[in-house]
Amino acid sequence: EEEAATFKLEASLQALGKDSKRLTADFVAFSGELQKTTTIADDAAIAMFQMATSRGLEEDSAKRAIKNAIGMQAAFGMNAQAALRMTSALEQGNASMLQRFFPTLRTIKDESKKVAEAQRLLAGTFKVAEAEVKTFAGFSKQLGNVIGDSFEGIGAVIAKGVRPVLE
């Protein structure tokens, strides 16, 4: 799954005319760090980067949107696509979708202040994602991610050996 997600990310970045090799390496490394500190699998984070960049987010904005989306998943039990849709919109200056999760945003009339407050609130949700790994369920999920990475490594070695025979 990681190979497919990485391939799609790189292809998406190329289509956007970005420095795909550098950005892919950066996003994959960041995804690995997210896997170490949360229960999100690195291949899921890489897929989120592909979605974020397809929505027009640049490096730092994409990273922040993904961290915020992971926080929303942990704090509100939502799926990755819905969370990323909201956090991507926030990165583009639109906090309106987040008002149902953070009702206090409705009282802020100035859009730039609303966006800043939404970012502050979402940073708190990422702490929930980080705390989740301290539970047995979180530890089990992280362990599953590590085991999955091991199988991906074994599969890559096998594929490399078999590919010349098939060609």
- Would the pLDDT of 166 be above 80? no
Taking residues 11-37, what's their average pLDDT? 93
Residue range 43-65: mean pLDDT, rounded: 94
Reduced 3-state DSSP string for 131-147: HHCCCHHHHHHHHHHHH
Whole-number pLDDT of residue 157: 53
For CA atoms 116, 118, 121, 122, the dihedral sign is negative
Residue 95 phi, psi dihedral angles, 5° rounding? -100, 5
CA 111 to chain centre: 25
State whether residue 99 is helix, strand or coil.
helix
Is the per-residue pLDDT at 44 higher than 60?
Answer: yes
Residue in this structure with the two tokens 């904005």, named with its chain if needed? 61
155 vs 98: CA distance, rounded Å: 41
Does 124 or 148 have the greater pLDDT score?
Answer: 124
Tell whether the model's pLDDT for residue 62 goes beyond 80.
yes
